[in-house]
Structure 1
């Protein structure tokens, strides 16, 4: 929810434009975070440690 709020704070006439504006501010960090979350989602098993890493990545993205 907090990441979405950060994206929606950006200027733009569409959701895509707002996301791209947010992503451009810290493109390397955003790309890394998204890649990390995709990797966690694809890997098995889904356990507490996987969840903890995912939450940490979302917290990093929230602060951008």
Structure 2
């Protein structure tokens, strides 16, 4: 019998997908990835969207170049 899951389709580049896979792996009991569809698409639980946005904002802030002058 087919099962339906409420979720969100995420389209991203490969580095962001790898970050999300690691983040999902680190949250072992509360994984948010439902399915890995291809190199640039993931299907995730809807409850994880805000958490993922926060984690990505933090990652991008840490990796942003700031001139010393």
- Normalized per residue, the structure richer in helix is 1
TM-score, length basis structure 1: 0.39
TM-score, length basis structure 2: 0.37
- Normalized per residue, the structure richer in strand is 2
